Amino acid sequence: MSFKKYKENGINNAEKLAKSNELKDKMKTRRSVRKFAKTQFPVEIIENIISMAASAPSGANKEPWFFSIIKNADVKKKIRKAAEKEEKSFYTQRAPQSWLDDLNKFGTDWNKDFLEIAPYLIVVFKQIYDLDNGNKYKNYYVNESVGISCGFLLTAIHNAGLVALTHTPSPMGFLEKICNRPENERAYLLIPVGLPDIDARVPILKKKKFNEYCEII
């Protein structure tokens, strides 16, 4: 492997602080949204967002991720039908009461109409191993790498002025079948992306204070 000299950005400490404050304040306005407008926008915006996600670091630079952009109405309908089947089973049979109690305050249930209303769905897959011409090759720190990539993805979505929801119907094997993904991939996240509906509401949340989630040693 060849190397090149890393080029520093050259900004001073005051500029670094200003940039960090700007991004911090912007990301504090990010919210998960469940009511989407049907407003369409160019798919190139989603492509740019995914390109940013794919720039994330990964174990041994194996990049163990794949992203499916779903915009076809029929495919979105199939995904909604399959997701609601799993969600209904979760809400009515599998979820312990303590979990349901925690979810009740958000007003969620097994109905997931946003999977058809949002103009795009992004399905994130993790590649549990590399597959090349039938040969298997090890990937490293797969969950960690894909998780970091999803962090980049959500940041890019918010930066583009869009809203999203991290949706994890369980189990998610139906996504691998609907998207016709190979045997080495497992669904990791299902993310509807779009603009908020005019009637979209979000809960008023109390977040932890800085000293509750961080310390300087």
Q: What is the pLDDT of residues 98-147, one digit of tens each?
A: 866 766 666 677 789 999 999 999 999 999 999 888 889 999 999 999 99
With a cut of 70, say whether residue 74 has pLDDT above it: yes
Q: Which amino acid is at 40?
A: Q
- Structural domain spans, the chain: 32-197
pLDDT digits (tens, 9 = 90+) for 17-61: 999 999 999 999 999 999 999 999 999 999 999 999 999 999 999
The rounded radius of gyration (Å) of the Cα atoms in the chain is: 19
pLDDT band of residue 64 (cuts 50, 70, 90) is very high
**Can you tell me the distance from the alpha carbon of 39 to that of 149, in angstroms, rounded to the nearest whole number?**
26
Q: At what angle do helices 142-159 and 13-27 cross, to 10 degrees?
A: 90
For the entire predicted model, the pTM comes to 0.93
**Can you tell me the distance from the alpha carbon of 173 to that of 22, in angstroms, rounded to the nearest whole number?**
39
Tokens coding 116? 């058809």
| CATH no., domain 32-197 | 3.40.109.10
Query: What single-letter DSSP state applies at residue 208?
Result: P
Q: At what angle do helices 43-53 and 142-159 cross, to 10 degrees?
A: 140
Q: What are phi and psi of 132, to 5 degrees?
A: -135, 110
**Can you tell me the distance from the alpha carbon of 32 to that of 165, in angstroms, rounded to the nearest whole number?**
5
